[in-house]
Structure 1
């Protein structure tokens, strides 16, 4: 599965666009900053998250896509994928929301279950993230969010007109950051379905290039195609 197809499928599953998708499609989340770092003698930019935080994100992702008879999110190293995406493809304000969201999950876990997310049981993790998933879905429906978005859209439309008058057609519009769990869920799905385990074991896979077969039999219950 190529990047564009993966982004389209995740967007379809979540009913909207995927944050950072444009950068991911264009650069694979390796912008000029990484090139500059390489030229300076470093192989890549420093990690945005610590090893402990990446492990934490792995557990969140594994709760969303657990291992069953097929690989789970940890098998696909989704925590490391999130680290790269948040570092390279998110704006500073989005990075802040994402990191603060991790703290909120930890605080909610302690408040609800008396222990941090890494210590609670799988059933409790699932219950907590299900609650946050519902909250994330309702987030854009609140009057406060709608009012902020309407005001920002008007402000950005004026700025866009001014920039276009100057001949600047690459104006980057500001936007209201998404709910932090929406970000985590997007990256979990995108990271998993663009990984080798996700594409070859959770989905049916035929290596490309390969011979042309105009008609492939499909039986009810078969896995979706990765390619």
Structure 2
């Protein structure tokens, strides 16, 4: 099983837990296009992080889906102030780790260096989460990964091109005769 298959299965398993039922049940519900919670520079950085997590292949990647705009809206509207601070501090920690490891910003790293850096952070995230006690905050990288996957899968790019969403599967026969069922 490759990474894309695993992400698709996780997304289907999690369903719409991050998106309220209103998004699925109401025809008048729409997400805001963007939020001012994150700066333009932070959005560029998070789109590149998302692209490293979910790169473009034969389907578009996270950057084309603009997952940073999704992150900005969700973090601003759905996260507690404490979680928002963890998220924002995580952006700074990511940049500090990049500078400490490679001597430059994450945006100036080549794709291999980006993947190596995020893999290292992910290992630290997994260790932290397994040792975390109840009530302790989640690791910032977990937020980044979850929001990247959710943002991509709920975007038009992810739904139509990756998940191959078909709004009208099969055919509809509106005028049929009913036969008695016995």
If the TM-score is normalised by the length of the shorter chain, which range does it land in?
0.7 to 0.9
Cα deviation, residue 93, structure 1: 0.4
Alpha-carbon separation, structure 1, partners of 2:105 and 2:78: 28
Out of 25, 39, 47, the position equivalent to 1:50 is 39
Structure 1 residue runs without a partner (length 5+): 1-5, 29-42, 150-174, 213-227
1:185 aligns with 2:155: no
TM-score, normalised to structure 1, is 0.62
Cα deviation, residue 89, structure 1: 0.7
Structure 2 residue runs without a partner (length 5+): 1-6, 24-31, 173-182
TM-score, normalised to structure 2, is 0.76
Secondary structure, counterpart of 1:130 in structure 2: helix
1:10 aligns with 2:30: no
Secondary structure, counterpart of 1:71 in structure 2: coil
Alpha-carbon separation, structure 1, partners of 2:41 and 2:33: 19
Secondary structure, counterpart of 2:118 in structure 1: helix
Cα deviation, residue 105, structure 1: 0.5
Alpha-carbon separation, structure 1, partners of 2:57 and 2:33: 34
Q: Retained in 2: the 8 A contact 1:110–1:116?
A: yes
Aligned length: 158
1:96 aligns with 2:91: no
2:57 maps to which residue? 68
